[in-house]
Amino acid sequence: MATSNIKNVKISPEPTPNPASVRFLLDQPLLESGTADLADATQAARSPLAQRLFALDDVSAVFLAPNFVTVTAGGETDWSELAPKVMAEIRDHYQSDEPSLVGEPDAVGEGEGDVAKGILRVIDEEIRPAVNMDGGDVTFGGYENGIVHLFLRGACSGCPSARMTLKLGIERRLKEEFPEIKAVEAM
C-alpha cells in the first residue's frame, strides 16, 4: 500500500524502450512491495491511482511498482501533453487518503525443483532489477521440459525490443547458468 500523506512527491518521467510507455520514477514509496500490472481499464478497480490514470485520454495500461509507475498510451500519443497530466494525477493521488493498490500485489510465480528455484533466483537477483530500470517486469510462469515460461509486464508488454531482450538477454543468461534450458518463451 502507499504512504498517502506525502504531499511533495518528486516525479521524474523517463522514456522506455517501448515508445508507447513512459516510466514515472518517484522519490516516495508507492507500494511496500510487489507490482501490479493493470493491462486495461477493466482491471483498475484494484487501484485508485490506476483509476485516475485510466480516466486520462489515451492511457491504455498502468504498471505499479514500489518506486515507479509505467503508463502505456495508445495510438499516436503526444507525451509532451500527456506526461504533465499523468504527473498531476500522481501528485493528486499522493495527496489523497487512498491506497495505491487495494489487496495484494500480483504473484511472481513459484518453482519446484532445483532448476526452477535457480531460475527464480537469477530472475529476482539479476533480470528483474534490470528490466525494472526500463519500466517493466519479468515474472516466472513455469519451467517444463526445458522450456522457461515468463510473463513480460509493464513497458515490456508490447515493446518492439521485448523479443530481443527475451532471447538475447534473458534466455542467454539463463542458459549460461542452466545448460538444460532449451528455450525461454513469453506467455
Does 62 share its domain with 120? no
Question: Are 88 and 124 in the same domain?
Answer: no
Q: How many CB atoms lie within 10 A of CB 187?
A: 10
How many C-beta atoms lie closer than 10 Å to residue 12's C-beta?
A: 11
Do residues 59 and 119 both lie within one domain? no
**Over the stretch 141-183, which tens digit does the pLDDT of each residue have?**
889 999 999 888 887 777 777 777 777 788 899 999 999 999 9
The answer to whether the CB of 74 falls within 8 A of the CB of 82 is: no
The model's pTM is 0.81
Both 89 and 121 in one domain: the answer is no
C-alpha to C-alpha distance for 182 and 75, rounded to whole angstroms: 36
Residue 54, domain extent: 11-95
Predicted confidence (pLDDT) per residue in 54-63, tens digit: 999 899 999 9
What CATH code is carried by the domain that includes residue 159? Answer: 3.30.300.130
Cell of 153: 509486464
